[in-house]
Structure 1
């Protein structure tokens, strides 16, 4: 057993490089396809996330995974998470890495173009509305698809602070109605 816990230094470098490559590829895909990719809306989505993990592990560790390779990949992922946390604190980094929230409903009106953009079906939206205790669209003040992939439901009649919606794509639809109230 030569090198670092069963792998050579060259193999450790290859594992770290592959891990960085897969991490960057996943961030780019999430950025391009949107936050829906990582939200937990159905068992199919969960299966996809598990498959992503398997693919990343296989690409990072190669054909013969060893403890040393796993440790290198894990340390690399933790370091990448810490680095992305620091980058997200900057204005340009936040804009580069994090998807903006999207307004899905303005009052009782569903914004169909935003549903399509976020890859959300009416059934999924209706399910989330029911989970939030909404029994009729007239009870909805707004629904926002957050950067985390979660749907936030705001009941009708709640005051809307413009600052909370200034970065929401489509948020101006709410701000206009709040200004009239």
Structure 2
């Protein structure tokens, strides 16, 4: 027997994974990645923000379920490494694809105004799953004691809420490509700077 020849059984024992499972792990990781993108697109960036303990628990459960599906049964170190490498490769590929403006608009969550001139925007709040409590919390974190002191609050693609104060100069480019920006910039809602 050649010192460099390895039987499938020896390879399986060394890797902890049968060779036939490797493509299954790769395909499963790709499908889970795409499913996560779709679910985040459907449920909005708000899912990622992790503002409450409940959100953190859901995020951990989400990762646990996805990870368990990817590595299969029994979970092995090799399956985990292959799964992670596949997910990182998907992220690198989609990072390149996202640089295409048209595809970027489809895959990327658009920043959205959820409060304009101190007034909540119910239609955009529903669309982004932002609650009144989320808005009040973001105002408190920004040190604002009255919603009328806020020019706007924008839900960012990361799931965080950005607060722009009233009374400070605003370059319209700051709100470029922000859904609902016209509600902040319009003459119908004059800013009392």
TM over 0.5: yes
The alignment partner of 2:152 has SS state of strand
**CA positional deviation for 1:117:** 1.6
The alignment partner of 1:114 has SS state of helix
The alignment partner of 2:115 has SS state of strand
**CA positional deviation for 1:120:** 1.6
Take 1:179 and 1:124, find their aligned partners in 2: how far apart are those partners? 23
Give the match for residue 143 of structure 1: 153
The alignment partner of 2:164 has SS state of strand
Segment drifting more, 157-166 vs 124-133? 157-166
Q: Is the radius of gyration larger for structure 1 or structure 2?
A: 2
Give the match for residue 72 of structure 2: 62
Counterpart pick for 2:115 among 83, 87, 105: 105
How many residue pairs are counted as aligned between the two chains? 181
Give the match for residue 90 of structure 1: 100
2:162 is aligned with 1:152:
yes
Contact 1:160–1:178, Cα closer than 8 Å, also in 2: no
The alignment partner of 1:153 has SS state of strand
- Structure 1: gaps spanning 5 or more residues: none
**CA positional deviation for 1:173:** 1.2
Give the match for residue 80 of structure 1: 90
Give the match for residue 2 of structure 1: 11
Deviating beyond 6 angstroms after TM superposition, the runs of 4 or more aligned structure 1 residues are 178-181
Segment drifting more, 89-98 vs 17-26? 89-98
- Structure 2: gaps spanning 5 or more residues: 1-9
Q: Structure 2-normalised TM-score? A: 0.88
2:24 is aligned with 1:11:
no
Counterpart pick for 2:35 among 25, 30, 51: 25
**CA positional deviation for 1:2:** 2.4
Q: Structure 1-normalised TM-score? A: 0.93
**CA positional deviation for 1:69:** 0.5
Take 2:116 and 2:24, find their aligned partners in 1: how far apart are those partners? 49
Give the match for residue 166 of structure 1: 176
